[in-house]
Structure 1
Amino acid sequence: MNKPVSNEYVHALDRQFVFHSWSTQGNLNPLVIAGGEGCTLWDYEGRQYLDFSSQLVNTNIGHQHPKVIAAIQEQAGTLVTVAPATANLMRGEAAKRILSHAPDTFSKVFFTNAGADANENAMRMARLYTGRDKILSAYRSYHGSTGAAIVATGDPRRVPNEFARGHVHFFNPYLFRSEFHASDEEEECQRALQHLRRVIECEGTNAIAAILLETVPGTAGILVPPKGYLEGVRSLADEFGMLLILDEVMAGFGRTGSWLALDNFNVVPDLICFAKGVNSGYVPAGGVMISQPVCDYFDNHFFPGGLTYSGHPLAMAAIVATLDVMAEEGIVDNSRRIGQELLGPGLRALADKYPLIGEARGIGLFWALEFVSDEKLKTPLPAPVMAQMKAAFQARGLLTFIVDNRLHVVPPCIVSPAQVTQALGIFDEVIGEFSARHAH
């Protein structure tokens, strides 16, 4: 590098050479980030940002945690990479720690590079185990952008990518925009389960390998399932001989105020997919937690899948250190407590104050504000207005995660009461300004 590092230089370098995901390339204006610590990021000019996006909802322990950085550095000095067929200390320790947070019926971990290929391999396992082909998943879901994961995804990004076979979608519960004309959570749950039963019957009760669900759908809107729903899905899977796969890629490891999101619900799946929060994305990693019956099957059946970087030592060292730090520092409890006592009540108060907010919903540090231009009709606030709102938050030093007409409020699980209060103040100021212009 022969130029001084500046915002301008890094921005120009990016725009000349980097191809971005989920984007039309010609009109991008990426934010330049130089460094970070905890819940704070900064650029080369010293401008600071409070990160309430956790980037892509993955930096659960915040940025640059010193113990995790040290663990990665120590592993790099010992063994920086090794083939997955070998036995490696960090891989074994990571799997042991992960399984300590899983239901008792889980016994092994298959490591992947990210959440998408975790879901890919979980679907592969289910098809091999059951001898069936079809996978059911929800319209309101996101499971990754690789071949089968993007087709399992329900949101419209799957449409240009529908090359995989055997995928069927159904509507999961979402009372605010109920597909079932439900009047309360109990009715929404009952009708959603009846709808799923009919989809199973119509698709062939002996044809479906698995139901794949995000325990708490994230990108689709932080849709906390109503009481009894996941238990009902489990019951349907058992009745028809299907596996239940829970995707905890975004919701797992502290995000919902528990170690796994499923801990909030009375449900035990057959396979659990994870990534993101397991090591806060410090080194890419994901995986599938596998229950004992599925493990037993593959004791004498060949598993036709693998990745060169499965259980990469640097990623495994980051997992071990992250899970140890989360336990030592009470980070999961912090997520639950801050969500219950401060963030949740603060967001609900904003929803009560501004008709522009149709609903505030969430659990732990996993919240969404859904914006509407018409409170009675629930008309989604248009995308250009949401983009302007995101820019207004950023101008005040707050980084947010916005999807469609929703603001997802997802700070690192280490967030402090003072930082939550600061963010709520910015939300109040900006939403107040936009409400004066756009609410009906």
Structure 2
Amino acid sequence: MADNHIDPAAGAQVRADDRAHVFHSWSAQAHIDPVPIAGAQGSWFWDYDGNRYFDLGSQMVNVNAGHGHPAIVEAICEQARILPTISPAFGNDVRGELARLIAERAPGDLDKVFFTNAGAEANEHAVRMARVVTGRSTVLSMYRSYHGASGTTIGLTGDPRRWRAEPTGGDVVRFFGPYPYRSPWATDSVEAEAAAALAHLRMVVELQGPNSIAAIIIETVIGTNGVLVPPPGYLAGVRELCDEYGIIYIADEVMVGFGRLGEWFGVNAFGVTPDLITFAKGVNSGYVPLGGVVIGSRVAQHFDDVPYPGGLTYSGHPLACAAGVASIKAFEADGVIDRVRATGEDLIRPTLSKIAANHPSVGEIRGMGFFWAIELVRNPETREGLVPFNASGPDAAPMAELIAACKAKGVWPFTHFNRIHVAPPLTTSDDELTDALAVIDEVLDLADAHVVS
């Protein structure tokens, strides 16, 4: 890090402006004090006092290419010189090229792309498409899920962030997805968990009335709410159920698309083809806001002669699309996708397994690619969480202690409830990964102190 990034006075001004004028999401404004960030590069970012942090969560699990990737930055600059913006009603070279590159990497007949500005908008439009195409209104989503904070998507969301937004007014029915470690059905194998979860979903569909259900929306791997990898056969079973009843299957890949799981799209790892895939985040690492819906033939053909009732001023913004094209090409040139898949199995999984063996507070490690969760418990026998579900204040103190210890050692963690998530940039080196996981190993001694024998 260059010395010119150390400027406490500038940091103080950033903090003063932020506290006086910026209204932050998901926060009680008087109880936060965001760290002013001076710069970032690769898998690291730093503040104005010179403190460097390894980005264990890729910010919001979106900086897949790492910070300041030169090819993406240059593509944005070059596009700004050529054509910084144009209405989505016109054809545009980088918009069309990115749509083609995405379609070529999507499974089956998903050949068209509707661009949005973020993941929430992508899910909003996917649900709208499903409702228009089917003529039905109900959407099924999981209790353990997050699909966005806009009107429709906060209603789809299952986690507690929805609670204070109610009533959402959405026609949504929730169901339980598979979670072998905390099985709602007390199963004893991943195969049994898949079968039980599918039987449960079928029952929900049949009791709700299949002819009223427009779509089932599922994060291919549940993200913030647990990094829950679906057991073998589960997503294929969802696909079969949707086909049986004419329901649109929406795969929410806002968090796991574009390499996070070691696949261009997560569903590719599970051998299924949804009707719609939503994406954002990793498509261009958030350098310029971008999201979208990849559309299969059933939905696309419906709108051949019927206007689609929706649009956005910045749909397919040239700067964002140029960044997306550059990101895909850079990942291809550097073999990032294959490396993520291999590193997840050859380095991250065995390292986390050793950490789990060393710490009684680790109930389970799970994940794939560069997307993992360390689930922490207070009692390994009963699997009581290190902190209660949706804990805050004093109840959340053990996790707050862990978070502070990580930051003090130069690792900025991504945590949720009783879990530490491991989701670094996909460009992170093996040495950086090893060092960051060693810090996690060290700080888990603090969690072990809370374990009851």
1:438 Cα deviation after fit: 4.4
Match of 1:432 in 2: 445
> 3-state SS of the aligned residue for 1:201?
helix
1:102 Cα deviation after fit: 0.4
Over aligned residue pairs, what C-alpha RMSD do you find? 1.2
Q: Amino acid of the residue matched to residue 291 of structure 1?
A: G
Count residues in correspondence: 438
Gaps of at least 5 residues in structure 2 are 1-6, 388-395
Query: C-alpha distance in 2, partners of 1:437/1:141?
Result: 28
2:137 paired with 1:145: no
Match of 2:196 in 1: 191
Query: C-alpha distance in 2, partners of 1:146/1:43?
Result: 31
Q: Which moved more, 1:116-125 or 1:380-389?
A: 380-389
1:254 Cα deviation after fit: 0.5
Query: C-alpha distance in 2, partners of 1:178/1:333?
Result: 32
> 3-state SS of the aligned residue for 1:104?
coil
Q: Which moved more, 1:159-168 or 1:369-378?
A: 159-168
> 3-state SS of the aligned residue for 2:108?
coil
Q: Which moved more, 1:158-167 or 1:301-310?
A: 158-167
> 3-state SS of the aligned residue for 2:140?
strand
Match of 2:41 in 1: 37
Query: C-alpha distance in 2, partners of 1:14/1:37?
Result: 23
Match of 1:243 in 2: 248
> 3-state SS of the aligned residue for 2:437?
helix
Q: Amino acid of the residue matched to residue 12 of structure 1?
A: A
Match of 1:412 in 2: 425
1:256 Cα deviation after fit: 0.4
Gaps of at least 5 residues in structure 1 are none
Q: Amino acid of the residue matched to residue 126 of structure 1?
A: A
Question: Following superposition of structure 1 onto structure 2, how do residues 302-381 of structure 1 map, counting pairs within 5 Å?
Answer: 302-381=307-386
Match of 1:10 in 2: 14
1:333 Cα deviation after fit: 1.6
Match of 1:421 in 2: 434
Runs of 4+ in 1 over 6 A off after TM superposition: none
Q: Amino acid of the residue matched to residue 207 of structure 1?
A: S
Q: Is the 8 A contact 2:8 2:49 kept in 1?
A: no
Deviations along 1:71-106, whole A, 9 cap, x unmatched? 000111111111111111111011011111101311
User: Match for 1:298 among 287, 298, 303?
Assistant: 303
Question: Following superposition of structure 1 onto structure 2, how do residues 246-257 of structure 1 map, counting pairs within 5 Å?
Answer: 246-257=251-262
2:278 paired with 1:265: no
| Identity percentage of aligned residues | 50
Deviations along 1:238-268, whole A, 9 cap, x unmatched? 1111010000000111100111111110211
Q: Which moved more, 1:393-402 or 1:24-33?
A: 24-33
Q: Is the 8 A contact 1:61 1:331 kept in 2?
A: no
Match of 2:112 in 1: 108
> 3-state SS of the aligned residue for 2:426?
coil
Deviations along 1:198-247, whole A, 9 cap, x unmatched? 10011111100011000001011100000000000001001111010000
Deviations along 1:279-302, whole A, 9 cap, x unmatched? 001100000000112111100112
Deviations along 1:3-32, whole A, 9 cap, x unmatched? 985322222221111111111111102122
Match of 1:24 in 2: 28
Query: C-alpha distance in 2, partners of 1:437/1:192?
Result: 33
Q: Amino acid of the residue matched to residue 231 of structure 1?
A: A
Q: Amino acid of the residue matched to residue 351 of structure 2?
A: G
Query: C-alpha distance in 2, partners of 1:43/1:155?
Result: 32
Q: Is the 8 A contact 2:386 2:447 kept in 1?
A: no
1:431 Cα deviation after fit: 0.5
